[in-house]
Structure 1
């Protein structure tokens, strides 16, 4: 995974970061009780034990320590989980928008005292079996986390990470590459124009391609204006060029000291090994310093609300061009260290905002005053002072004042009427579900959840005791029925620290931004002497030579292919039939939660109906039934389950490249005690789904269309890969039609229709044709304790369904794409950077060439694209992979180039033809592939490869052995066979998402189609 800038303020969760999805343990997990092993005041390898706590709801022991010499804080969470986590965090509080902590995060991982090689972080990505490896810059902290199941791997990564944080080189060449530089467009040609380059510079230009990022950044800056939150920690593109290498090194000296660090470990590896390593290698080498400089003060509260308006770029995919405004009201709430208030405000947030029973959903969404809630909506407990915000997108700017009035009226009504008892119970049930629900990345999520609180010296161990906080809350509302209304009044209605922020598009936004960058560049160049201008060329040559320098990476630690396990993890599944419906049963330690999935085959639907499946999946569970209106049905779902979910399903056949299963995937989960209720809800939905309320339908369709147009820039490379694959693969084409930019464009047109009645009739046709058991297959994961009773309850559900189940459980569709062997599609978008992709159709999963192609993709990414596209050309990311449908796909992310990157993609075979591939390169690529294959699987998800993709344990094991057996000759053979340009019979698709591009006119053989959503407006 490429390291990324993680703007925490956008993750406005339904639960506080110190609570969300924390207690996901299983009662079947036994863990050594470290509360008995260690004693408060005990000294362990230079650390003193400050506090020990047993967290029963998570089946773990928390040990908090302090390093005596430096004051470094250490938290270890001992739990019998093989997926161990380690992290070094630092409180970093910039006072300008040069992006210094963000650029420093990148540079720290570019070589260190113990590992003097260029960019050891990127190289460790392919020398490890890490289940997570990254580094992140938040608004007031920087963290360096990883997780792995292998103890040797843990120590290798711990060594590289600790050295990167405490002993980095911070070379000026790395500053030029990762941060910003002036360089000729062609570094080898002095006559080409000089421009700004740099990985972070281009990354942040890409970040602010997205209007909602612009809005989120500004709201944070304005509502917390007195300290570090008033600036952009990731860096503003027009301010980044103010940063000097000297200032960056000074920032490191100030903040990257052990005294300012918070070190975290989790899992079942021995704590004392971690402590000894950190003390002897790093901490004991330093003395304690004063770290009060990094403390973030509480914001002084306002005496009156404030208003601000900003502008953004036009969104060509907005459903209604006249409704592109965004509105938000934000309130500064409690201090993050007030753990009880944080929990209670999150409950308030869910009550006010989540689902059709919430007050703001009724007043702001169903009134159609906006297309839907904006990304800022919710309660955010990341900053020192927490924020509650309600944001509305798809708004006519003329309605800004009306929205504010409706907002206040809604609060008044809530304060006067309070919340319904079963609504509160539904929210509390959701918290219980999150506590019990297990994921394979429990430890890393736990780190992300506690980091903001710990960063401000909050009581982390107390925050983990969720049951105590919940008991306290329940007692409060029992003793005072008006307690929640009082909280709403205190923190929202009567709170003077209120910001009203509005945003609307400016048709000249991009041209103004481009002019500002041009003027900045011009001013910099005008101040340079001829010698300094010549030095820009020389510096570019030196950097290019450094990037191309051959390095001896043997100094870096690595796992070996022999460290891989021999066999896949195997689980027992039973295939049974219940009332004729196939059911895959997997008994697992699910913590007394039942996980249910099903696939409704849609092969026999007409094509026009298939194109509407995403709309069907979005509305089917949200419009009520004959027995319950949509509000009542949603309330029942929240009270008894984790929700009833629908989504499109396309699964490629493992042995045929043009064959796939198409359908609708359904899922839900519940506490075992509520299984009968869950089956009743599914029974009611399948047999009584009501699709008659046209007003409700219009609300859902327009809200969905508005949501789809957001986030494209954040995932631009994913959309580009989908578009490229859709040009060469039948399964890829269907995926693009049901979830890519093609679908988003179609949704935009649908949302503009004045009468949606014909569309609703089509949705009813889909319901009538597929909501039965004719082509229905299912799976269930559950614990042994209640297996019999839970499965018995399915008889009522399946017995109620119409039709006779087809004996052929899986129906496949076989298609071949006709047309040109090479084609391209360009979506013109008003972005400052590009997202590109090239896809080549190869072979399916079971073909012997698939394994060497997987290895080849890793080699292409690390040996070729990383230095060429990222390091030299400044794209934030680039890589290659092979998808399940056999599409070998290249991509670039936040890329300042477009067609130049395609030229790089096209020269892959030329690179491998001349490159001397060695066994170490091959072994590292294999490790990179096995990172994903050997990643832990949560109990509730075991067996899903088999159920969804038809891959048995034996299929996976055969693939595993083929991967291990891949040779250098195999890699070169498939590279020549599939990647050599103009190879006869090979289908190639290309896609660009980005600004208008006249260069495509010169590439006639690639048969480009240009789509400009802006013209549709």
Structure 2
């Protein structure tokens, strides 16, 4: 909860004051966000510190460095991984991953940007905060940087079978495989090339994450030198946020780390600053190749084009703010200029992901990108780009459109999220990295006021910026990308050439050393370590009772309404669920598409452009999504429906419900051209996300074999739905599908099976509920049972024999999954299974699949439907991974885990169970999933009571030999003949990209 600014102000801190080695440089209040900002400098080292004091329990800490690579070996990225593999104070392997289970962190990660590396975490527990701070700071300032960790995380030459010195030598490594996965996605390849080519003069011309063909050039010595150069306090930036005491943070940072260093910047010339890009005198063109995407909705339109211009320096706060507004006007939503000229005419299928205004680099970049383009239309796209800019300069922007964008900014200021502190850090990092004015950047209301004044004084203010930055800008790049049928072959050949070069330089003695290094690394990975040196919370440190959320249930016109009064900062949040169980099977398949288009087709009263503008002016958007909730009391039972939601400022409640009334009663499903555009956009977004979300798609496919709710989810959001959308998008006549959209609307947009929830400010209940009543009174139908269950108790029998799906896709990495059906949420075994899943993830799957196997990630999760989902992410060794999945019960039955391991597993579960919830989302567990405070309290108590014997018993029952008849498997990736060896399963091969 965020209270008034005065309650959170640090009255003892003033500018010029010295605190624990730091001097306070600036103290500012930011009223719009109810926070106080404190900028400090550590005088002995030059380390910068930003503290945000705010009455928020989800406290954040981060330490970051400006890291500017001068090659594409992935140095900063691999260093980020390796620093977290052990330090002077915590010399055990991977303290970062071990702390994931010794903490109540609401967020823990590290990330590498194009010119920075940051190490952030967040937690609500003060002792946890101190524990994590000590691990993070020791990791970055005193890492072990062992060569074996470099080889594990970065790259290494190793025998395919490390026990057989006669087996082929290949390239392995976590980051090496990760980046192969990243660049298996064409749009990631495009965005990387866009950055490299629009800013070619300095560090941005390189791949900070690492080019898989260049990563093997990195040496261990390079890694150590890079750390020595960049990971100095003089090059560091510390960030803290929340309601924990600032002085305590400063004392720890200074006493434990900074007091041991001196400012080395002037002495050794460490200058990590990034210069401004030298402006071009003429436009440049660049063409690249990519892998064919046979999932494309139109095989003739596989290409991508982007026109990018270099804009203002990131440190020009007002200019970057106004360019962000300008970007919204130009490329976001159906009323934007480029949407009208590039998307609606069907020249391309959708905007490319690079589209918009980017402020991650020293010089900001504006891009208009289009994917799904026929190469012969490249010139036309450039021509339309120029004509659109000419038209914008001539006609200007609609005043309501501008007001809609500014209203969205006001909503973002008011809207409270659970991760505000992290969001603020991510928003400020790039600016801070280039020494921009952070306080000025947070004063958003000032920026809005300046823009409004500029528009009053010069109505053409925004058009002038279009002329300056887009129309007359000679630093312009036209980047195009087209598929090459031989791309995969060429990539494989290039990788083989890299490997061949490495192997040619090896003597027989070198090969023997490699063999011994591999065995040594494996021994290190398998060594049992004493983790007692790591700090940890304990289950006894957790609160025993949850904080109750007061909810009131009322009936309005026989429709049940859940009311939650919270300090929502002048906002009203509305949600409703419409049951869809009575739809036909054919229409159920189309519900996700209906959700995608329901608020975007317009009404009998307003065109879709007008409706979007009204929603933008009065709400945070009107959202309709597919809803599937598992029964907490019964297996193979679930609720299926449509969730519609919106939020608004209290002053706009009447207008928000007027819009919903219009959509429900006057929705229009007749504009075929608009429908075709929406279908095309939706299909492209789904298809382009397969590589990035591969593990989710694999889990969905595997789970669909064992559970009816999971099967319904697969049909509505899995690869089955992706295939369905591809099929629809390729139809020559969509009139039948459009008619079905109208049928769904007529069937469900009423109050027959409806329930609602409202989260609102104290004192606004009567006014808001009056508008709810007006809305419900306008709806057709007669209120009936709001909560209908879909049941399929014999689901297993329909799916026998056990099957696995191999979704063959033209990507060079794999995503593996195995799913097992267990029990419902309120079953006595559910809590034991949840703890068991976390235990297996951290103590068995992580060392076997990531450390040894080289996959980027792996895990075992328990879904609310009672499905245990094993998974691996960007996995080079998936055939072995399935064997590891099968061995999980055997590992548990060996009973080699400790009581401490069980304790850590419980803590890992409580990270999710006790995650912070913002006021606008309080009570949603009950409304959406039927889990009220009583059930949650019972579940928490059960989790705390899970014993070793409980874990062993549920593992045997649900993962043992008898469970094999109730499991499903899935693999997403290239052809893998090894699957034929898994005789106990019947695999179905699905050529996904045909």
TM-score range, shorter chain: over 0.9
Query: Partner of 2:799 in structure 1?
Result: 819
Aligned pair partner of 1:790 in 768, 775, 779: 768
The aligned residue for residue 850 of structure 2 is 870
Q: Map 1:179-328; keep pairs closer than 5 Å.
A: 179-290=154-265, 293-328=271-306
Match of 1:961 in 2: 941
- Check conservation: 1:662, 1:812, Cα contact below 8 A: yes
The normalised TM-score by structure 1 is: 0.96
1:133 and 1:293 map into 2 onto residues whose CA distance is 29
| Superposition deviation, residue 189 in structure 1 | 1.2
Is this contact kept in 1: 2:5–2:35, CA < 8 A?
no
**What's the counterpart of residue 16 of structure 1?**
none
Checking the alignment, whether the CA contact within 8 Å between 1:27 and 1:591 is kept in structure 2 is no
Q: Deviations over 1:131-150 (max 9, x none)?
A: 11010001100000000010
Name the CA distance, whole Å, in 1 between partners of 2:588 and 2:770: 34
Q: For each residue in 1:58-77, what CA deviation from the matched residue of structure 2 results, as whole angstroms up to 9, or x when unmatched? A: 11111101001000000101
Q: 2:141 — aligned with what?
A: 166
Give the secondary structure class of the aligned counterpart of 2:628: strand
Matched, 1:370 2:370: no
Alignment of 1:398-413 (within 5 A): 398-413=376-391
Question: Aligned residue for 2:986?
Answer: 1007
Unaligned runs of 5+ in 2: none
Q: Give the alignment partner of residue 681 of structure 2, picking from 703, 706, 709.
A: 703
Match of 2:967 among 988, 991, 996: 988
For 1:827, what is the secondary structure of its paired residue? strand
Contact 1:582 1:809 in 2 (8 A): no
Alpha-carbon distance in 2 for matches of 1:499, 1:904: 48
Tell me if 1:419 matches 2:407: no
Aligned pairs, number:
989
| Contact in 1 for aligned 2:706/2:799 (Cα 8 Å) | no
The answer for the alignment partner of 1:978 in structure 2 is 958
Find the counterpart in structure 2 of residue 332 from structure 1: 310
1-side partners of 2:806 and 2:227: how far apart? 42
- Kept in 2: contact 1:593–1:671 (CA 8 A): yes
Give the structure 1 partner of residue 8 of structure 2: 32
- Aligned counterpart, 1:150: 125
**Aligned equivalents of 1:815 and 1:788: distance in 2?**
44
Aligned position for 1:637: 615
Q: CA deviation at 1:266?
A: 0.5
How far residue 27 of structure 1 moved from its aligned partner, in angstroms, is: 5.6
Give 1:938's aligned residue: 918
Equivalent-residue separation in structure 2 for 1:292 and 1:285 (angstroms) = 18
Structure 1 position 786, deviation (Å) = 1.9
**Offset from partner CA, 1:586-626 (integer Å, 9 cap, x none):** 00110010001011100000000000011101111111111
Does the 8 Å CA contact 1:88/1:264 hold for their aligned counterparts?
yes
Q: Is the 8 A contact 1:31 1:59 kept in 2?
A: no
Shift of 1:578: 1.5
Q: Once the 2 structures are TM-superposed, how far is the Cα of residue 28 of structure 1 from its aligned partner?
A: 5.2
**What's the offset of the Cα at 1:32?**
2.9
Q: Alignment partner for residue 38 of structure 2, among 50, 59, 63? A: 63
Question: 2:563 aligns to what?
Answer: 585
Shift of residue 412, structure 1, vs aligned partner: 0.3
SS in 1 for 2:271: helix
Partner-residue secondary structure (3-state), 2:961: coil
Which range is displaced more, 908-917 or 458-467? 908-917
How far off is 1:785 after superposition? 3.0
Kindly state the Cα deviation for residue 26 of structure 1 after the two structures are TM-superposed. 4.8
Q: Aligned partners of 1:130, 1:803: CA distance in 2, in Å?
A: 47
Rounded Cα–Cα distance in structure 2 between residues aligned with 1:638 and 1:784: 25
5 Å-filtered alignment, 1:671-750, equals 671-750=649-728
CA distance in 1, matches of 2:911, 2:779: 42
In structure 2, the partner of 1:10 is: none
Matched position secondary structure for 2:340: helix
- Asked if 1:494 corresponds to 2:469, the answer is no
1:152-203 per-position Cα deviation (integer Å, ceiling 9, x unaligned): 0000000000000100000001001000000011111112111000000001
Q: Distance in 2 between matches of 1:922 and 1:914?
A: 14
Q: Per the alignment, in what secondary structure is the counterpart of residue 80 of structure 2?
A: helix
Q: Is the 8 A contact 1:30 1:80 kept in 2?
A: no
Measure the CA separation in 2 of the matches of 1:39 and 1:901: 57
* Aligned pairs (5 A) from 1:649-660: 649-660=627-638
Q: 1:807 to 1:819 in 2, by over 3 A?
A: closer
Aligned to 2:49: 74
Deviation string 1:499-521 (CA, Å, 9 cap, x unpaired) is 00010111111111011111111
Maintained 8 Å contact 2:820/2:963: no
Pairwise CA distance, 1:812: 3.8
Deviation (angstroms), 1:321: 1.1
Select 2:109's aligned residue among 108, 118, 134. Answer: 134
C-alpha contact 2:755 2:786 (8 A) present in aligned 1: no
The residue that corresponds to 1:86 in the other structure is 61
Tell me the alpha carbon deviations over residues 896-928 of structure 1, each in whole angstroms, 9 at most, x when there is no partner.
012111011111112122242221111000000
Closer/same/farther in 2, CA of residues 28 and 312 from structure 1, 3 Å limit: same
In 1, Cα distance between the equivalents of 2:126 and 2:894?
37
**Once the 2 structures are TM-superposed, how far is the Cα of residue 367 of structure 1 from its aligned partner?**
0.6
Tell me whether 1:777 sits opposite 2:752 in the alignment: no
For residue 19 of structure 1, what is the aligned residue in structure 2? none
Tell me, what secondary structure is at the counterpart of 1:1004?
A: coil
- The residue correspondences of 1:443-842 to structure 2 (distance < 5 A) are 443-817=421-795, 818-842=798-822
Shift of 1:322: 1.0
In structure 2, C-alpha distance between the alignment counterparts of 1:611 and 1:819, rounded to whole Å: 19
Please say if residues 49 and 65 of structure 1, whose CA atoms lie closer than 8 Å, have aligned partners that are also in contact.
yes
Q: Given that residues 906 and 981 in structure 1 are in contact (C-alpha distance below 8 angstroms), is that contact kept between their aligned partners in structure 2?
A: no
Aligned residue for 1:360? 338
Mapped pair 1:348 → 2:326: yes
Match of 1:48 in 2: 23
CA contact (8 A) 2:128 2:536 kept: yes
Listed one character per residue, the Cα deviations across residues 709-737 of structure 1 (whole Å, up to 9, x for unaligned) are 11211111111111111111100000000
Q: Give the superposition deviation at 1:807.
A: 3.8
Following superposition, the deviation at residue 41 of structure 1 comes to 1.1
Secondary structure, aligned partner of 1:681: helix
The answer for the alignment partner of 1:7 in structure 2 is: none
